Amino acid sequence: MNSRPVAIITGASRGIGRAITLALASEGYDIAAIARTSDSECMLSLQPETEKLGAEFYPVGLDVAHTNLHDEAITSILDRYGRIDVLVNNAGIAPIERKDILDMDEETFDRVLAVNLRGPVFLARKVAREMIWMKEQVKDYRPSIMFITSFLAYTSFTHGMDVCISKAALSMASQVFADRLTEDGICVYEIRPGLIKTEMTTRSKYKFDRLIAEGLIPQKRWGTPEDVARAVASLARGDWQYSAGTVFEISGGMNIQSI
């Protein structure tokens, strides 16, 4: 069994997941990095970057929506490392075409819910079962599960009802997992990013630049993937062990209601 702790990060190839991968590698974790393909250019370049930080890197190709493939993916990670200490459920999508709710189509709705909600929920269930079993096998074991949700869990977006619903529901899933798993020594946390500069937000960059200039974000700047990764690293480090079920808002204050 690996002597170092192991973190699984979904959606590791780009954006927030990539920054989380590098932050956890810096914290002394070996990495199982999940994206839809394990040998994309992004994954191939992430491997040496991670290894430079002294961590092992294991790329896993998995579409998280395909829950029937979760067992195989987790088994392969356990075959490689023998343990899982942290799961960061980060993979998520926004539809390519953002349609008004009156034009929303069922196929896109189902796909967004499958990737953003069903996938992370059943991956967490699978990993939680393994973590409960591992408690007896791993010395000084401090497992945690993190869900990356969004400010859209509490903000209406009429051209993204599917994402809003998926993130609001994932936020509740995080609460229920925290409620159930705390008794088994697994800390569950929700991390809610605001507007983060990644490929996902490139398409709406000018709109959000304008909204930020007009005061949408009290801290008056885009968030960076590293802003989110620092929070994840702090949770993984064990700085928040008495805060199971807490929601960590990384949004420059978008959560502040003001008149």
Ligand X SMILES: NC(=O)c1ccc[n+]([C@@H]2O[C@H](COP(=O)([O-])OP(=O)(O)OC[C@H]3O[C@@H](n4cnc5c(N)ncnc54)[C@H](OP(=O)(O)O)[C@@H]3O)[C@@H](O)[C@H]2O)c1
Comparison of 15 and 252: residue with beta carbon closer to ligand X = 15
* Beta-carbon count within 10 A of 80 CB: 14
Is residue 150 a contact point for ligand X (CB under 6 A)? yes
* Residue whose C-alpha is closest to residue 31's, from 41, 43, 42, 40: 43
**Which of 90, 144, 171, 174 is close enough to bind ligand X by CB under 6 A?**
90
Strand bridging mode 187-193 / 247-250: parallel
Per-residue contact string for residues 35-64; x = within reach of ligand X by CB under 6 A: xxx--x----------------------xx
Q: Nearest-5° angle of CA 143, CA 148, CA 154?
A: 130
The answer to whether 171 contacts ligand X (rule: CB under 6 A) is no
Q: Under the criterion CB under 6 A, does residue 201 sit at the interface with ligand X?
A: yes
Give the single-character DSSP code of 8.
E
From 204, 234, 219, 46, select the one nearest 144 (Cα to Cα): 234
Question: At closest approach, how far in Å is the CB of 229 from ligand X?
Answer: 10
Closer CB to ligand X, 134 or 227, in the complex: 227
> At closest approach, how far in Å is the CB of 135 from ligand X?
27
Between the alpha carbon of residue 227 and those of residues 20, 44, 60, the distances in Å are: 10, 24, 25
Degrees (nearest 5) of the Cα angle 134, 5, 133?
5
When binding is defined by CB under 6 A, the residue of 2, 4, 14, 27 that contacts ligand X is 14
Closer residue to ligand X, CB minimum distance, 134 or 222: 222
**Which residues bind to ligand X, rule: CB under 6 A?**
10-17, 34-37, 40, 63-65, 90-93, 115, 148, 150, 193, 195-196, 198-201
